[in-house]
Structure 1
Amino acid sequence: MWDDQRLPLSKIVLQGDLTHVTAKDVQHAFANLEHIGTFMSQDINVLQQSVEQIPWVSQASVRKQWPDTVKVFLTEHQASAIWNGIDMLDTNGVVFSGDVSAIEEQKVKLYGPKGTELQVLQTYRDSNGQLAPLGLSISSLVLNERRAWQVILDNGIRLELGKDSMQERLERFISLYRKLGDQVSKISYIDLRYDTGAAVGWFPAEEAGTAHAESKKVG
């Protein structure tokens, strides 16, 4: 293992538009490498790979400058969503690790089986665009193991969309939502897993705003 004292922080030149990664993170990554010989004889590819393992790092370029300086240019992932509660997705649907609490802006929460990251992200983007004219947005989108979709809107309404014809069912919701007018605040969930119509779960009058609801099919 390397001795941290053999790689002074002043010998690392860190470049890039960085928010989450620090020179100390890079120093720590280098310090934990097994090595043969001196620092300057270390394989540059090994150094680069070690930096790319740092949370938030998307790409890295490492150059050595004799006698004792290493220049590191980094590009960070840009978080688009929180993935399965613990990781994040960047703008290309790539999963990366990092401190979720470090995100300043509120991000949508997406959930899905492994390998569905890009599908879920793209579905979120498309569906959120459909909902925008209503002044609504998606706060959570779930693709479960059975490949059925569930949406939680920013106003708390839950939509059950099932496996098939998701976009058509979302359009059906939009049409229904416009007809409901002031009644939307009384809705707990809307089940659209029907060929036509939908089942609307209403909050009982005495329990409005609670998690209990009564269901009635409309349409």
Structure 2
Amino acid sequence: MNVIAEGFDNPSLKSTSTKDHFLGGVFLLLVVISIITVVYSTVSWMTDSQRLPLSRVMIEGKLTHVSPNEVQDVLSKVPNMGTFMTQDVNSLQAALKTLPWVKQVSVRKQWPDLIKAYIVEYKANAIWNSNALLNANGKVFNGNPADINSNIVNLYGPDGSSEKVLSVWETSNRLLKPLGRTITSVVLNERRAWQIILDNGIRLELGKDARENRLNRFIQLYRRLGDKAEQVSYIDLRYDTGAAIGWISDDESSQESNK
């Protein structure tokens, strides 16, 4: 007959259970330590500039004014440059956007140590106030006029007027095209009066109002001048009808102050 006693502890079973719990706790502790060690080693590896340095730069794009040395120099000044794994490409893009002539830039990393920068340059449509440049929309951008190799128009005007002055230059150039003349300068002064200088040196005083009508009056007058146009210094069109012509003297050009 088998007798089962209830309510009595079995010392051997209790000892085994305690031992199992202890071993389970030790195993869990070892697992946690192993995970921490792996994470620490991985983070140390990712942040070790000696193991994962960003040591090379590749520049892509059709570039005329941005040089590799400029790119390398600005990237070398990025504070707290990280490793391949930790470096934020947005900060690199922001640094490159500060370079003159840079319109757009895209930066990406390529394993194991390469930075690829694709750069799009601005196209200069005009020199603005002698010390800045305008794009096709009349926006001032960060570029040096001294970098321009070809002759482009010089535009002048008060702050905030660049779009208007560029538009007037484009419109006036189209009107003058049948004459075979181009514009070298357009000036909008503080009193909002217009002045245009042609490629043959003639200065046109157009005043504030009826600019296109006055320019059309010049076109008619210019055709009537024929060969005499080569002796013209300026033409003042700030009249309801007609114009005043200033002629080049033998030794110097005559001058007239703006009204």
Range class of TM-score, shorter chain: 0.7 to 0.9
Structure 2 residue aligned with 1:191: 236
Contact in 2 for aligned 1:202/1:213 (Cα 8 Å): no
- 1:212 aligns to what? 254
Q: What TM-score, normalized to structure 1?
A: 0.86
Greater fraction strand = 1
The answer for unaligned runs of 5 or more in structure 2 is 1-52
CA contact 2:100–2:142 (8 Å) conserved in 1: yes
Per-residue deviation, 1:212: 2.2
**Equivalent residue number for residue 21 of structure 1:** 66
Who is 1:87 aligned against? 132
Is it true that 1:121 corresponds to 2:163 in the alignment? no
Task: Kindly report which structure 2 residues correspond to 1:26-175, keeping only aligned pairs within 5 A, or say none.
Answer: 26-35=71-80, 37-38=82-83, 40-175=85-220
Q: Distance in 1 between matches of 2:101 and 2:205?
A: 33
CA deviations on 1:65-122 (whole Å, 9 max, x unpaired) are 2332111111011111111111111222221233323322111111111211121111
1:175-219 superposed Cα distances (whole Å, 9 cap, x missing partner): 111111121112111111111111111223x33xx22258xxxxx
Structure 2: distance between partners of 1:153 and 1:7 = 53
Q: TM-score, normalised by structure 2?
A: 0.74
Tell me: CA distance 1:12–1:37, structure 2 relative to 1, closer, same or farther (3 Å).
Answer: closer
8 Å CA contact retained: 1:40, 1:68? no
Per-residue CA distance 1:126-169 (angstroms, 9 max, x = gap): 10111111111101111111111111110001011111111111
AA aligned to 2:236 is D
* Structure 1 residues 133 and 21: alpha-carbon distance in aligned structure 2, compared to 1, 3 A threshold: same
Can you give the 5+ residue segments of structure 1 that lack an aligned partner in the other structure? 1-5, 215-219
